[in-house]
Amino acid sequence: MFLHAKDPGDMQEHHLVGKRTVILVDLVVNSGKSVVQFARRIRTTCPGPRIVVVAGVAQSQSATRTLAIGSSIQPVWREQNKGRYSTQGVSERFRRQRHTG
């Protein structure tokens, strides 16, 4: 099942029941605040699934914050950055990297 959720409240119980893994995808994770909100929503609604967080770029602080939520969360970053990362121009950068090979 695919669900494009902008807000944790968009995830209802029927989206999560019976799922073994939930994959949260975001292009850039800066503070990790939204990841934490989505993970908490998943845990309070249906505590069973493993949570995988996939992001193109994550700020170092967000990786620490995400891992602090619990051992059942697995982060996957393409790139980790020590400073804040702007989403402006990121799509162009990934397009160039994809075509270079």
One CATH from 3.30.70.260, 1.20.120.1200, 3.40.50.2020, 1.10.1040.10 for 8-98: 3.40.50.2020
pLDDT in tens, 3-50: 999 999 999 999 999 999 999 998 888 888 888 899 999 999 998 899
d(CA 30, CA 83): 9
Question: Domain ranges in the chain?
Answer: 8-98
pLDDT score for 77: 72
* C-alpha 30 chain-centroid distance: 11
pLDDT score for 20: 93
In the predicted model, is pLDDT for residue 97 greater than 80?
A: no
pLDDT score for 48: 87
Q: Which residue has the tokens 């845990």?
A: 43
What's the whole-model pTM score?
0.70
pLDDT score for 18: 93
